[in-house]
Amino acid sequence: MCTVSWLLANDGYQVFFNRDEQKGRALAYSPKYFNDLGVKYLMPVDPVGGGSWIAMNQAGLSICLLNYYQQKPPEKILISRGLLVKSLISNTSLTKIRAALKKLPLQRYAAFTLLVFPSHLTTQIGDVYAVRWDGFELTTVTAVSPMISSSIALAEVTNYREDHHNAILLQHQVLFSGDGCNDELEISPTPAPVDIDSVEENIIELTNQRCIDDKNSLALTRFHASHEPAPSYLSVCMHRDDAHTVSFTHLIATRKQLKMNYVCGCPCSSKQHQSYALYPQRETCVEVV
């Protein structure tokens, strides 16, 4: 019950993540700083399992995890999937991530899809790496933005959100022009008015803090705040009787900055906007995937 999208630019990448959970589940703790074996990283923490669904380290590598509900979990004591993110995020390259995955006892985890955004990822260098554990086998899957998980009507939800994602990007007419992560963009003193619904204003504020003229970022932020076609299981800002979107995370990874913007609570109503930064310490070797 989550949606992740991303954009690549000449100087880095951005990730946008809506986390959906059951209404009875405790809210996650806001992002915290960790240091594992000398590698600093940021991640929000699930108080239930102690892990996370998204994290970024000081090398500029990021990890996202989606539950794969279509595979029934095995009837035995399992390790929380969120601990996968915590155990992998101290690795500073995709090569190290792959090696670490081979050593994990995956049979003790329920099914998942894991996305890795390598530290030097741009429009020219590398690719988003995605693997899926179905309870029996770990396989590479094609990473195409957006990627979606849902415990109900997965095909219907995926088709609707993909179409809506593409429509929003076409509306902005800037389909990944390459300047989406540009830190040098200046905030216009009198930015052009943007026609957005009031329910989107809270989450849009995070983008405004960077640059309202960053149209790619604005487009995807609007997508993650959307209630189209109505607040329901289909909408990206998801609302069901038993579950809803509980947080929005926006990662920015460029040569000059590593930043995590976080909205705690349902993004259409929460006022809890927080921003965190890491000092980039990238490895000199550029890893081409």
Q: What is the pLDDT of residues 82-139, one digit of tens each?
A: 999 999 999 999 999 999 999 999 999 999 999 999 999 999 999 999 999 999 999 9
Q: Under 8 Å CB-to-CB from 97, ≥6 apart: which residues?
A: 61, 63, 88, 91, 116, 129
Pick the closest to residue 214 from 273, 277, 259 (CA basis): 259
Question: Given this model, what pLDDT does residue 60 score?
Answer: 96
Does pLDDT of 188 surpass 60?
no
- What is the predicted pLDDT for the residue at 283? 56
Q: Label residue 270 by pLDDT band (50, 70, 90).
A: confident
Nearest to 40 by CA among 57, 63, 53, 60: 57
Question: Does residue 188 contact residue 212 with C-beta atoms inside 8 Å?
Answer: yes
Alpha carbon 183 to chain centroid distance? 20
Q: Residue 76 — pLDDT band, cuts 50, 70, 90?
A: confident
Q: Cβ distance 203 to 268 under 8 Å?
A: yes
DSSP per position, 93-120:
SHHHHHHHHHHS-GGGS--EEEEEE-TT
The crossing angle, in degrees rounded to 10, of helices 215-225 and 201-210 is: 160
Q: Has residue 171 got a pLDDT over 60?
A: yes
With bands split at pLDDT 50, 70 and 90, how would you rate the model's confidence at 213? very low
What's the maximum distance between 2 C-alpha atoms anywhere in the chain? 59
Report the C-alpha gap between 214 and 225 in whole angstroms.
17
- The string of pLDDT tens digits covering residues 25-65 is 998 999 999 999 899 999 999 998 899 999 999 999 999 99
Instruction: Tell me the C-alpha distance between 256 and 234, whole Å.
Output: 37
Please name which of 102, 100, 145, 99 lies closest in space to residue 121, comparing C-alpha atoms: 145
Secondary structure class of 36 (helix, strand, coil): strand
Tell me whether the omega of the peptide bond preceding residue 229 falls within 30 degrees of 0, making it cis: yes
Mean pLDDT along residues 221-244: 93
Length of the chain equals 289
Look over the chain and give the mean of its residue pLDDT values, rounded to a whole number.
83
CA separation for the pair 61, 109 (Å, rounded)? 23
**Torsion over CA: 42, 276, 208, 252 (sign):** negative
**Mean pLDDT across 13-35:** 94
The average pLDDT across 248-269 equals: 90
Q: Which tops the pLDDT comparison, 141 or 271? A: 141
Tens digit of pLDDT for each residue in 107-121? 999 999 999 999 999
Q: Which residue has the tokens 């504020």?
A: 205
On the question of pLDDT at 192 being above 70, the answer is: no
Comparing 62-76, 101-115, 134-148, 273-287, which segment has the lowest mean pLDDT?
273-287
The arithmetic mean of pLDDT across residues 17-26, rounded, is 92
Say if residue 24's pLDDT is above 80. Answer: yes
